């Protein structure tokens, strides 16, 4: 499932450099995650790195984007082939 950043975001920027898919960007009042690019770090790390580094614990699963590990792997392959 793609991840999302909730309203607890303090805009610290800790998540930005650790995303291997460049799925995180700065929004108007908080950072945001592009669900079409987020693969929860599948193929890069055993756990989502943005969650690991977030001091505000504001990065959570997006309940509207439930995906299996196989779907995340397929998305990861598509994202990196298109780069």
Burial 58-73 (b: 16+ CB within 10 A, else e): bbeebeeeebeeeebe
Reported confidence tier of residue 66, pLDDT bands at 50, 70, 90: very high
- Spatial distance between the Cα atoms of 40 and 1, rounded to a whole number of angstroms: 7
pLDDT(6) > 60: yes
What is the CA angle 48-53-55, rounded to 5?
Answer: 130
Q: Count Cα atoms within 13 angstroms, Cβ side, for 26.
A: 6
How high does pLDDT run on average in the chain?
93
Q: How long, in residues, is the chain?
A: 83
The answer to whether the predicted template modeling score (pTM) of the entire model surpasses 0.85 is yes
The CATH topology of domain 3-81 is Alpha-Beta Plaits (3.30.70)
H or E element: which one contains 73? helix 69-81
């Amino acid at each position: 499932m793609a991840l999302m950043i909730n309203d607890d975001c303090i805009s610290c920027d800790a998540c930005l450099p650790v995303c291997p898919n460049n799925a995180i960007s700065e929004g108007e009042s908080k950072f945001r995650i592009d669900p079409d690019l987020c693969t929860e770090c599948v193929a890069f790390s055993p756990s989502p790195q943005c969650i690991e580094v977030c001091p505000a614990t504001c990065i959570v699963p997006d309940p509207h984007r439930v995906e299996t590990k196989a779907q995340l792997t397929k998305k990861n392959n598509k994202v990196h082939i298109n780069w």
